[in-house]
């Protein structure tokens, strides 16, 4: 039996840092309001770099860290809701930039759960024996979808990209169990990039709602109810208890939501990793950015066991048990 082992992590974020105080200059808000409700203090915003640029930055770092020849890469999956183009996919743009001519490349869209969904897909290709390795990246330039007159949402999101290189192994390591789900009936609670079906023969005057819209209560309700259940189901499936876990890495949407998840799961907060103070909510990139930081800080070491849990628009969610 094959397993998917994470052999490298990498991240790439735009250089420009925007603090809560910077935002308070252009929208009616303040640092206390933002940080007490979300845990966010600053975020990175693009200065022109697009999603494929930062995704390619991640891919280059993964190639270097994993010492892999780009021609030996089998699969490139980019999870994103803020691609440069509808087509070509961001994954194909990345493939072109890094010269991974022998890879299959495609994007997936599952918003803040996107990295988990992408990793799950890569794992199936590896488990089935079809491919021996994959690059999985979450990459977002969400700032292009922000309404800077909506103080309830524009302060929450940031730009960034990160990912992993996974390789086939026969050792029982890497992705050990997963639990995923979707609830499309509640999809309108969090939307972005609306593209109405106008053409030369019908009324094109309908306004597209391009910017991020969020029904705060509906999303809060979803995150605080569904995520604990998902993690619980995962832990039951994998027959692990809180004591077996070295860390829980949740999607970095909101520290208050993470505290509620911790309380409901009865897993102490010191096992939950958070870095939304520095990056805001970077959707599909949030989990891999934090994962890379944990590896770099030595929090995740060889043998570490933990849970990744993503949740977001769609609505979608996904939890994974991983061993390093």
Partner 1 sequence: MFERIREIIADQTGKDADEITMETNVKTDLEADSLDLFQIINDIEDEFDVKIENVEGIETVGDVVKLVESSKE
**Among candidate residues 192, 184, 181, the one with its CA nearest the CA of residue 229:** 181
Smallest gap from residue 24 Cβ to partner 1 (A): 17
221 binds partner 1 (CB under 8 A): yes
225 binds partner 1 (CB under 8 A): yes
Please list, in sequence order, all residues whose beta carbon lies within 8 angstroms of the beta carbon of residue 321, skipping any fewer than 6 positions away: 175, 176, 177, 178, 234, 235, 238, 240, 305, 306, 307
Helices (H), the chain: 20-24, 31-38, 51-66, 90-98, 114-127, 216-238, 255-265, 276-279, 286-297
Q: How far apart are CA 57 and CA 47, in angstroms?
A: 15
88, 109, 181, 216: which one binds partner 1 (CB under 8 A): 216
- Site residue total, partner 1 (CB under 8 A): 12
Smallest gap from residue 37 Cβ to partner 1 (A): 6
In the residue annotation, 12 being an active-site residue is answered as no
36 binds partner 1 (CB under 8 A): yes
Q: Can you give the length of the chain in residues?
A: 324
16, 242, 260, 274: which one binds partner 1 (CB under 8 A): 260
65 binds partner 1 (CB under 8 A): no
Q: Lay out the site mask for partner 1 across 179-198 (x = CB under 8 A, - = otherwise).
A: --------------------
CA distances to 143, 196, 235, 272 from 247, rounded to whole Å, are: 30, 42, 13, 6
Q: Is 105 exposed, middle or buried (0-12, 13-18, 19+ CB in 10 A)?
A: buried
In the residue annotation, 281 being an active-site residue is answered as yes
274 binds partner 1 (CB under 8 A): no
Query: 191: number of CA atoms within 13 Å, CB side?
Result: 12
301 binds partner 1 (CB under 8 A): no
Q: Select which of 20, 133, 281, 292 is catalytic.
A: 281
Q: Stretches 47-55, 169-177, 219-227, 292-300: which one binds partner 1 (CB under 8 A)?
A: 219-227
Please list, in sequence order, all residues whose beta carbon lies within 8 angstroms of the beta carbon of residue 298, skipping any fewer than 6 positions away: none
Q: Select which of 133, 154, 251, 254 is catalytic.
A: 251
Q: Stretches 4-12, 75-83, 142-150, 220-228: which one binds partner 1 (CB under 8 A)?
A: 220-228
Smallest gap from residue 217 Cβ to partner 1 (A): 5
Smallest gap from residue 254 Cβ to partner 1 (A): 8
The dihedral over CA atoms of 25, 28, 33, 39, expressed in degrees to the nearest 10, equals: -60
Smallest gap from residue 239 Cβ to partner 1 (A): 28
37 binds partner 1 (CB under 8 A): yes
Q: Stretches 69-77, 118-126, 162-170, 218-226: which one binds partner 1 (CB under 8 A)?
A: 218-226
Euclidean distance between the first and the last CA atom of the chain, given in angstroms as a whole number: 18
Q: Stretches 17-25, 89-97, 181-189, 253-261: which one binds partner 1 (CB under 8 A)?
A: 253-261
Q: How far apart are CA 253 and CA 280, in angstroms?
A: 7
25, 217, 266, 297: which one binds partner 1 (CB under 8 A): 217
224 binds partner 1 (CB under 8 A): yes
Q: How far apart are CA 65 and CA 317, in angstroms?
A: 29
266 binds partner 1 (CB under 8 A): no
**Among candidate residues 107, 110, 162, the one with its CA nearest the CA of residue 138:** 162
Q: Select which of 20, 50, 92, 112 is catalytic.
A: 112
Q: Which residues are catalytic?
A: 112, 251, 281
Residues that bind partner 1 (CB under 8 A): 36-37, 216-217, 220-221, 224-225, 254, 256-257, 260
């Amino acid at each position: 039996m094959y397993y998917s082992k994470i052999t490298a992590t990498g991240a790439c974020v735009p250089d420009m840092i925007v603090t809560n105080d910077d935002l308070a200059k252009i929208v009616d808000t303040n640092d206390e309001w933002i940080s007490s409700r979300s845990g966010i203090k600053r975020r990175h915003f693009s200065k022109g770099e697009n999603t494929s640029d930062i995704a390619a930055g991640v891919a280059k770092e993964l190639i270097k860290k994993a010492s892999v020849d780009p021609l030996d890469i089998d699969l490139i999956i980019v999870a994103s809701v803020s691609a440069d183009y509808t087509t070509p996919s961001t994954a194909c743009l990345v493939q072109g930039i890094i010269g991974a001519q022998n890879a299959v490349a495609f994007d997936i869209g599952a918003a803040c759960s996107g990295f988990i969904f992408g990793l799950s897909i890569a794992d199936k290709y590896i488990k089935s024996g079809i491919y021996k390795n994959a690059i999985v990246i979450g990459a977002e330039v969400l700032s292009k979808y922000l309404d800077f007159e909506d103080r309830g949402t524009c302060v929450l999101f940031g730009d960034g990209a990160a990912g992993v290189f996974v390789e086939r192994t026969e050792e029982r390591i890497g992705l050990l169990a997963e639990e995923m789900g979707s609830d499309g009936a509640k999809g309108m609670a969090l939307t972005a990039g609306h593209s109405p079906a106008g053409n030369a023969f019908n009324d094109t005057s309908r306004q597209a709602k391009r910017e991020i819209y969020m029904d705060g209560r509906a999303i809060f309700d979803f995150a605080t109810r569904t995520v604990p259940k998902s993690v619980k189901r995962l832990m039951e499936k994998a027959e692990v208890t809180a004591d077996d876990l070295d860390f829980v890495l949740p999607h970095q949407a909101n520290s208050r939501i993470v505290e509620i998840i911790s309380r409901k799961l009865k897993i102490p907060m010191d096992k939950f990793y958070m870095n939304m103070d520095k990056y805001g909510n970077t959707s599909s990139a949030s989990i891999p950015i934090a994962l890379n930081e944990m590896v770099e800080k030595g929090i995740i070491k060889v043998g570490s066991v933990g849970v990744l849990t993503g949740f977001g628009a769609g609505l979608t969610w996904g939890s994974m048990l991983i061993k390093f």
